[in-house]
Chains A and B, each alone.
Chain A
Amino acid sequence: MLAIILLAGLGWLALGRAGTTPPQEQPLVLSQHFVQTQKPQVCVHTLLENEVETAKILRSLEMTRQLGAASIVQFFPWAYVESQEGKYDWAQSDHIVRLARLQGLRIIARLGLAPDWARPVGTPLTRLPDAAFKEFAEYAAAFAARYAADIQHIIIWNEPNLSVEWGFQPADPTRYADLLTETYSRVKQAHPAVVVLAGALAPTLENSRSGVGLNELDFLTALYRLGAQAHFDALAVHTYGFRDAPDAPPHPGRLNFRRVELLRQIMIDQGDSDKPIYITESGWNDHARWLHAVRPSQRAAYTIRAYQYAEEHWDWLEALCIWALRYPADLRGYPDGYTLINPEFLPKPVFFELQTYARGWAAKESLWLPPPGDI
């Protein structure tokens, strides 16, 4: 009887523990893959930081490899990793980096978002006070050191020429130059070979009196004037086509794909032409209810022509990354018109066209048939 009671007690204890301890996910046993591509500049921006299920992270990365994209831009928020000051939790980052490595993908890491303890109470995650620059630099250095074997490219913050990315504080080139200065030396100490990217600069026409931001041309010029040149190895840029064709000429007063050439010219003028540019967000939108969108047929055709244009004309370009591979859920608005696959992992036609281009498969002469009246 005593034995029965003891066994029952042990069973109860075991059940109790099973009920309170979440089941541990077993590490996946996966084989090493390699990207097969003819166009290594093809790249996509992934959004894996908010995914919970490993299966979805893995499927996203598999589809990126199958697309023929050699690189991904992936966000690693400081706020997620160091939610408690001085305590790093690398679990999710380790997971993403490992799975990307096993698919043979290069990661361009974007760092940003300040944890609660590093910013005033009630401010948004994008608020980064001057006093927190040093702590952010420490995080960036720790990140660079931890992933030195896997990650060779790090972007410092995001769209620093927009007020929203500074927690609705002015988009001040001086502050960003200071952030670069603080971060660059720490990251280089931790991982001397890493490529530190400044930016990524957002496409905007805002002038210095705007509360929204500052156009990226003036912002970059100011960075050079402030001596930031020594504190970045490459420039990250966002350039979108909106309704213009990919070969539409650039102009300071217009937002289109080739606007990046104006930034390139500033780098040349500043004697900084040896530095490459990485386009870390780009693309066209085909949402039916957005004024800046194009038709689905135009989107697919423009995307391929953009890559062809870049290949033919931009020898200073290292990567052209499409925003975005997939959102974890539909946003129920025009941003859904930017993705290559939907939340259920169904590829959109533009995915197949980009895959044909990247993999070097025999492409059709034209994506569509001539108008029937012309036959």
Chain B
Amino acid sequence: MAATAGGHLMQRRAFSLLVITALAVALFLATVLHSIRPDRKRAFPTGAIRIGVDASYPPFALDDGGSLRGLDIDMAAAIAREIGLPAQYRNIGFYSLYDALISGEVDALVSSLPIDAARTDDVRYSSAYFNNGLVLVSAADSSPLAIENLIGKRIAIEYASSADSILHGWSADGVAVQRLPYELSEYALDALRLGHADAALIDNLTYRLYQRGHSQWSSASQFITYDLYAIAVRRDNHDAWQLIEAALEQLRNEGELARLIAQWV
């Protein structure tokens, strides 16, 4: 009996050793594979980067008489240059973009896509290149507005927008502000600029575009919510993700991404 028990013990040890070795090899292979330089041919087998974009969302992308223009278009072109391949654009309706990517019609979506956690079984997102969340805007010469200091303050918003919902939530949480609803976000910013409001709660894109039209006006802002735009590739196309992410990082480091954003938004 003792000899049999000893034999079982040896077998268990041998099995454990085998499992540990297999895991170590798998870990090593995964590390090596991960560190292998991404392959352009594997990432973009047609020899071009096929980009899906919904060109109906200026200033990110717009079909201007058959010619596509906008931040997403210029940024995609810059990324393609960094990778060393030509960019080919496909103008696709917003709600068909993911189908086009998953079915392989395009290699990447560069279309001011909000990062959607529910899609990450199928796609992988790049790092975010723009935040279109809500910003709390105040006059540049006023003191910074912390949420707890907003009680009684006049906050201008676009009526019925997500900013309006946030004010309802603040009110429910005991932060009772004086709500100034306007038909348009731009009117809410007008109210702040003209001194009718202490702050405006507005999406970042509207705020930035408004600033372009009122360059003499100085203001301060802070993000209250996040709505991050990123590039999407198929989850199994790891090479494409690595190449695009590296190119995006390069553009960021060179200041080119900031320049493009400032040019369009």
A residues neighboring B (CB under 8 Å): 286, 289-291, 295-297, 299-300, 332-334, 346, 348-350, 352-353, 367-369, 371-373, 375
Contacts and interface: CB of A to CB of B under 8 A. Distances in A.
Contacts of A349: 159-161, 164-165, 168
A348 B169 CA distance: 11
A368 B159 contact: yes
A105 B194 CA distance: 48
B56 interface: yes
Interface string B157-173: 01111101100110000
A349 B160 CA distance: 5
Interface string B71-103: 000000000000000000000001100000000
A54 B240 CA distance: 46
B95 A334 contact: yes
Nearest to A286: B160
Nearest to B172: A346
Task: Name the 3 nearest CB pairs between A and B, nearest first.
Answer: A296-B160, A349-B160, A368-B159
Contacts of B183: 295, 297, 368, 371
B226 interface: no
A350 B160 contact: yes
A372 B196 contact: yes
B161 A296 contact: yes
B190 interface: yes
B154 to A, nearest CB: 11
B182 A295 contact: no
Given A333-B95, A371-B182, A296 B56 contact: no
Contacts of A291: 56
Given A297-B184, A369-B181, A348 B190 contact: no
A291 B180 CA distance: 28
Contacts, number: 68
Chain B interface SS verdict (over half): mixed
A348 B184 CA distance: 17
A368 B182 contact: yes
A371 B190 contact: yes
B158 A296 contact: yes
B57 interface: yes
Interface residues of B, number: 27
B159 A297 contact: yes
B62 interface: no
15 contacts: A295-B184, A296-B159, A297-B160, A332-B116, A332-B118, A348-B160, A349-B165, A349-B168, A368-B181, A369-B180, A369-B191, A371-B182, A371-B190, A372-B182, A372-B190
Contacts of B161: 296-297, 349
Given A297-B183, A372-B187, 20 more contacts: A289-B94, A295-B184, A296-B159, A296-B164, A299-B160, A300-B159, A300-B160, A348-B165, A349-B160, A349-B165, A353-B160, A367-B181, A368-B159, A368-B183, A369-B182, A371-B183, A371-B190, A372-B182, A373-B194, A375-B196
Interface string B190-210: 110010100000000000000
Contacts of B57: 289
Nearest to A353: B160
Contacts of A295: 158, 183-184
A296 B119 CA distance: 26
Contacts of A352: 168
A350 B180 CA distance: 16
A164 B256 CA distance: 48
B125 to A, nearest CB: 14
Contacts of A348: 160, 165
* Most B-side CB within 10 Å, residue of A291, A295, A333, A369: A369
Nearest to B203: A288
A67 B108 CA distance: 44
Nearest to B192: A372
